[in-house]
Amino acid sequence: MLKEVMCCPRCKGDLRPEAGSYQRCSCSACDAEYPIMEGVVDFQPLGGRPKGRGQRLMEYKPMVRIYESRLWRASKLFVPFMGISLDREIALIKEITHPGPAEKVLDLACGPGIYARAFAEGNPRREVFGLDLSWPMLRYAVGKAQRLGMGNITFMRGDAHWLPFRDCSLDVANCCGALHLFSDIRRVLGSLARVLRPGGRFSAAAALLRPESRFSRLKARLDGKYWGVHYFRQAELEGLFDEAGFEPTVHHAKGIWIIISGLRRA
């Protein structure tokens, strides 16, 4: 799987698994080494961009424990603000991307593995990759996938701005709840366009600036400054998808939440 799909995020060279006192893989071109710890391929020795407070919150252990519970992401209290429940969002994402039984799927900023598990469930031939920056989130995701017997998910730690995948190697990509936290959204979307094959599908859910009142603009500025959150205008996000090489379609834009997909142009 390493040789077929993944590559060195530094130079795009081939990765080779190595045996030793601990597991690791290394690049055949630049000799960069990436450890494999607790079932996670760690590409973060490459380095990365400074994390905003919103990203650092995802490394807080209490947040990890409650993230997909009814105390946070699955809470009914969120529904009036987002216009959609978590269960319905998961179902909609699967409808949008309709991954085939043997396709390769990336869940970018996978967090505790909510969507990675949804893609992997019932499809043992489907290869699912979950990438995130947060070790606590990844440890939780690995543990839950193992308890559920999902052996078709590979988890990795890395930066969305430097994706460790070969050009045109993936069929589907998803990123729910994180686009608004990335420091360079153009680079992230460009990287996704690079790793998806022509005709590949990308789905995303992100924070939406709506309605554009004085209060919402003030909140967006404060959240941007303190949490590192960028609230997208719908036309802005559609334009960014188009610029990156995706044909955009908005499926949901209510409250503070937008769900959008993009078809990778040839």
Residues 9 and 161: their CA atoms lie apart, in Å, by: 9
Look up the domain containing 241 and give its range: 2-264
Give the residue-averaged pLDDT of 5-11: 93
Cβ neighbours around 49 below 10 Å, total: 15
- Specify the pTM: 0.94
The CATH number of the domain where 25 resides is what?
Answer: 3.40.50.150
What pLDDT score does 21 carry?
42
Among 6-10, 116-120, 258-262, whose mean pLDDT is lowest?
6-10
Residue with tokens 């366009």: 193
> Number of folded domains in the chain?
1
Distance between CA atoms of 113 and 29, rounded to whole angstroms? 31
Whether the Cβ atoms of residue 45 and residue 32 lie closer than 8 Å to each other: yes
pLDDT interval class at 45 (50, 70, 90): low
Structure tokens at 1: 């799987």
Closest CA relative to residue 176, chosen from 251, 95, 109: 109
Q: Which residue is it, tokens 């947060």?
A: 134
- Output the pLDDT for position 22: 58
As a whole number, mean pLDDT of residues 130-138 equals: 96
Label residue 19 by pLDDT band (50, 70, 90): low
The residue to which tokens 């939440």 are assigned: 257
Average pLDDT over residues 120-130: 96
User: Which of 43, 16, 197 lies closest to 131, judged by CA?
Assistant: 43
